[in-house]
Chain A
Amino acid sequence: MAEIKRYDNRLGIWGWLGGGRWGVERYSYILHRITGLGILFYFLLHIVVTSLRAKGIYLWAGRGFLHQPIFEFGEYLVFAAFAYHACNGIRLVLVELGFAVGKPIEPVYPYKTSLNVQRPLLVCMMILTLVFLAAGGYSALTK
């Protein structure tokens, strides 16, 4: 039989960002990845900058190079990213180790899935994130 020509229908990166309508868990997964990348990028620079203290260079102290509004705002963004990534990370550790997904049940329509079981945990973590964001924002603005 002759080989039928196939068309590769993978969504690609668009599949990460969207390809249909999603639930809140998918948005939280996307944001978890974005904040992770942001924190990693900052962290790699942070290691180099803070290692300069061994040579007596303190770029972050007093009137150092890093005391410019753009860097201060960037610092708040990193703090915000960490607050979200950490709170969502706690939720993921609990869920991915099977603690917050509930026991298998006989499916009866309308179906209630593990997403319904972990939704209260997601809401709590998001509230906690907002509390940290507010506390960090207050601390940054009143510095």
Chain B
Amino acid sequence: MPETSKALQPINFHITRYNPETDSAPCVKTYIIPVREGMTVLDGLHYIKDNLDSTLAWRYSCRMGICGSCGMLLNGRPGLACNTQILHIADANLTVAPLPNFEIIRDLVPDLWTMFDKHLSVKPYIFRADEAEINDPAGEFYQSPEQLESYLQFTYCIKCGCCMAACPTLATDVRYLGPMPLTAAQRYNADTRDEGRRERNALTGASTGALRCHYAGECSRACPKGVDPARALQLLKRRLVLDYLHLARRATPCKKLLGPGQGKLLPDIAAAPKRTVEPGEKPQAGVVR
């Protein structure tokens, strides 16, 4: 493994600061911090808070690119602070700003509720006509690997908001649902277990839905998890047009497995071990498990 350099390099962090109680508009403050190879932007922010300015505010949690809390505008491009190494994107100057297209609460903290409200509005859950079946299922759904692959990519979304920040339509159109909610809608529409496509179409097929996307592609370029919202949105549009023209193929309902032994057994799967306790039988006292 190549040796990482331990040399420290001074990097100027130009950070957007905004205190709603004292400032009328955001301003940029510069901090010089010593950066070693391998340090992430999040490490830099921690250094500032610990050593230079304890009033700096930002969101973070997992620091490993899975919670989606630390979305920021880094040198003009939306990204996660925790998985962006400083020296990968900056030589001497790094600008850190809050995600655009959201209101700023303070410093680097955007108000993500508009995104979450839009997400909730597209019913991002498995929706079945028979509610009793959801609450009291009689068996499990069978889904083939091919059926899973038709929506799996869109399940990797961590709701960080980077795609929403990158979208040119959201820059001016407040009512546009945006890449993240629409990708969630496509994720559920494509899931064979779901029956809620027609309900979602009312929202996603409206003029502020998927049709406001014009394939600028910035959402897919900004996404830190490879979700490819642009692809999801075009597939969603395709389905909307087919539904409007009544050309959509009738979806085959997801098969239910009502007991063991009904699914297709894959080869090379070892047989289940023998039961140690028969159904209805009480285990023997004193037996160590």
Contacts and interface: CB of A to CB of B under 8 A. Distances in A.
Contact of B230 (A11, A103, A108, A114): A114
Given A6-B103, A108-B226, A113-B231, A16 B171 contact: yes
A107 interface: yes
A9 B110 contact: yes
Contacts of B152: 104, 106
Contacts of A13: 171-172
A8 B98 CA distance: 11
Given A5-B21, A7-B20, A114-B230, A15 B171 contact: yes
Main secondary structure of the interface of A (DSSP, over half): loop
B238 A97 contact: yes
Interface string B86-125: 0000000000001111111110001100000000000000
A4 interface: yes
Interface string A2-37: 001111111111111001111101100100100000
B195 interface: no
Q: Which of under 10, 10 to 19, 20 to 34, or 35 or more describes the interface residues of B?
A: 35 or more
Contacts of B110: 9
B221 A113 contact: yes
A21 B216 CA distance: 12
B218 A96 contact: no
B226 A9 contact: no
Contact of A107 (B77, B98, B103, B153): B153
Main secondary structure of the interface of B (DSSP, over half): mixed
A86 interface: no
A10 B100 contact: yes
B103 A7 contact: yes
Nearest to B231: A114
A106 B220 contact: no
B101 A107 contact: no
Interface residues of A, number: 40
Interface of B: 18, 20-21, 25-26, 73, 76-78, 98-106, 110-111, 149-154, 156, 166, 168, 170-172, 174, 190, 213-218, 220-221, 223, 225-228, 230-232, 234-235, 237-239, 241
Given A6-B20, A10-B172, A95-B215, 14 more contacts: A4-B106, A7-B104, A9-B100, A9-B102, A10-B101, A10-B174, A19-B171, A21-B76, A95-B234, A96-B237, A97-B237, A107-B228, A111-B223, A113-B217
Interface of A: 4-16, 19-23, 25-26, 29, 32, 92, 95-98, 101-109, 111, 113-115
The 6 closest A-B pairs by CB, nearest first: A15-B171, A107-B226, A98-B238, A111-B226, A20-B76, A25-B217
